[in-house]
A and B are shown apart, each in its own frame.
Chain A
Amino acid sequence: MQDDNKRFVARDRNWHPPAYAPGYKTSVARSPQQALVSMQKPSVSELSGPDFRALRMGPHDNDLLLNFRQDQSQGQGLPQGERIIMFGRVVDQFGKPVPHTLVEMWQANAGGRYRHKNDNYLAPLDPNFGGVGRCLTDDQGWYRFRTIKPGPYPWPNDMNSWRPSHIHVSVMGPSISTRLITQMYFEGDPLIPLCPIVNTLKDPDAVETMIGRLDLARSNPMDCLAYRFDLVVRGELQTFFENQ
Chain B
Amino acid sequence: MKQPNSVPSSELMLRETASQTAGPYVHIGLALAAAGNPTRDEEIWNEMARDDAEGKLIEVVGTVIDGNGDLVRDAFIEAWQADSDGKYQLEYDQQKPFNSFGRTATTFDNGSEWSLKTIKPGPVAHASGQSMAPHINLSIFARGINIQLQTRLYFDDEADANAKCPVLTRIESPTRRQTLIAKREEADGKVIYRLDIRLQGEGETVFFDF
B41 contacts A56, C-beta separation under 8 Å: yes
Main secondary structure of the interface of A (DSSP, over half): loop
Cross-chain contact of B17 among A25, A177, A209 (Cβ < 8 A): A209
A24 contacts B13, C-beta separation under 8 Å: no
Interface segment among B54-62, B123-131, B187-195: the answer is B123-131
A177 contacts B210, C-beta separation under 8 Å: yes
B-facing mask of A12-40, CB < 8 A → 1, else 0? 11011111010011111111111011111
Cross-chain contact of B18 among A26, A114, A206, A230 (Cβ < 8 A): A206
**Interchain nearest-CB distance for A25 vs B (Å):** 8
Known contacts A54-B95, A56-B42; A115/B28 CB under 8 A: yes
**Interchain nearest-CB distance for B136 vs A (Å):** 9
B146 contacts A230, C-beta separation under 8 Å: no
A-facing mask of B79-112, CB < 8 A → 1, else 0? 0101000011011111100011100000010000
A94 contacts B93, C-beta separation under 8 Å: no
Q: List, in ascending order, chain B residues with CB within 8 A of A158's CB.
A: none
The answer, yes or no, to whether B178 is at the interface (CB within 8 Å) is no
28 residue pairs of the A-B complex, CB under 8 angstroms, read A12-B16, A16-B18, A16-B147, A24-B144, A29-B67, A31-B67, A32-B200, A32-B204, A33-B67, A42-B127, A44-B88, A44-B127, A46-B210, A50-B99, A52-B92, A54-B93, A55-B44, A55-B92, A57-B40, A58-B40, A132-B32, A168-B29, A177-B210, A182-B17, A182-B20, A197-B20, A200-B21, A205-B4
A residues with CB within 8 A of B: 1-2, 4, 9, 11-13, 15-19, 21, 24-34, 36-46, 48-58, 61, 91-95, 104-106, 108, 114-119, 130-132, 168, 170, 176-177, 179-183, 197-198, 200-201, 205-211, 213, 230-235, 242
